[in-house]
Amino acid sequence: MKKRHLILYAFILVWSTLSGQQQNQYTQFALNKYVFNPAYAGLDFSLSANLMYRNQWDGIDGNPRDLSLSVHLPFYLWSGAVGGIVERQSFGVLSQTSLSGSYNYVASMQGGLLSFGGRIGVSQLNVDGSRIITPEGDYAGIFSHNDPILLENTDLGIGMKWDAGVFFYNKKIETGVAISHFPQNFIGLERTSFGQTTHVNSFFQYNFIFFENIELLQSILLKTDFNQIQSDISSILKIDGNIFGGINMRGYDSRSLDAIAIIAGMKLGDHYTISYSFDIGVSGLRRAHEGTHEILLNYNLRKILGSGELPKIIYNPRYL
C-alpha cells in the first residue's frame, strides 16, 4: 500500500469518530516530571528549565514529532511554585501548539513534601489539507482533491487545555497522579471537532543510594485513557551526579510492548545537564521505522528565588 494512501486513510479517520491516546510519549519521563504532572513544579528547588525534542518512528513519512520548553520554580511568597510550558506536536497532517501556566501549593509534612496544583492554557490545532493526496485529485494544474469533504487549505481551531495533579517527594520516594482534560473538551474545526480525551497518569520512583556517590533511579509511569493502558519502566544509574545512563521499556505484554530504549547523559558545568535516548522498536512496526530519538537539555539556576525574606539589618553605631 502506498504511503499517500495511508495518509489519506488516516485523515478520513480523523474526520470521522476516532478515539485514542493523545498524551505526548516521552522516554526520559523520569528526568522531566513537570511535563506530565504540574504538581512537580518547584521540586527541583530552584529555577529549572527543560528543552526536549522527540522524533518518533524516524523514517516514516508524517511521523510524530514533539518539542517542548518548560520552566518552573519555587515561589515561597505563595507557599508553592509556578511554571509554564510551550509544546508543539505534529503527526501526519495534524499539528498542535499549546501554551499553559501552572501553580501548585507545597506543604511540608512528616516524611516529605506534598504538592497539589493545576495547569491551564490554550491549544491551537492545525489540519494541513495541502498535504493530502487523493486518487482522483488534480495536483498537476489547479490544486484540487476533487472531493467535497476534504479541505484543500489549512483548517484551524483553538480550544482550552487543563490538567491537575498531586505529587509526594522525599529523598527516596517520588510519586504522583495527574489527570488532564476532565471533563473532556473539544476543539472546533470547520467541518468537524477534535476531542481532547481525558487521560490519567500515575508515577512512582524509588531512589536507591549506594556508596554515597552512586544512585539508582527506578521509575514506572502508567497512562490510561480509560480504554487502554500503557506503561513505561525506567532504570537510570547516576555516578557522582555527573554522568548517568540506563534503559527504558515501554509496554507490559505482547499487545502493548513497543520499544526498549537506551538513555545516556552528563552534566555540563554547574547549571546544565544534557541527555539522549534511542528507542529500539520491538513491535511489528519496527520493520517500517528507523528508531526514535529524544534529546533533553536541562538548566538549573541552583539559587533560591522569591523567598520573601527581608535582608539582614546591620546597625551602624554612628546613627544610634
Tell me, what CATH number does 247's domain have? Answer: 2.40.160.40
pLDDT value at residue 293:
97
In a domain, 313, yes or no: no
pLDDT, block means (10 residues), the chain with 320 residues: 42 42 82 97 96 94 94 94 96 92 96 97 89 78 75 85 97 97 88 86 96 93 93 96 95 89 96 97 86 97 68 47
pLDDT at 307: 59
The pTM (predicted TM-score) of the whole model is 0.85
Q: pLDDT at position 59, please?
A: 87
Does residue 317 sit within a domain?
no
Structural domains of the chain, count: 1
- What residues form DSSP beta bridges with 36? none
Question: Tell me, what's the pLDDT at 190?
Answer: 78
Structural domain containing residue 44: 3-306
Does the residue 252 lie in any domain? yes
Question: What is the per-residue pLDDT for 305?
Answer: 73
Per-residue pLDDT at 306: 61
Residue 188 domain flag: yes
Output b/e per residue, 236-271; b: 16+ Cβ within 10 A: bbbeeeeebbbebbbbeeeeeebbebebebebeeee
Structural domain contains residue 318 = no
Residue 2 neighbours by CB distance under 10 Å:
9
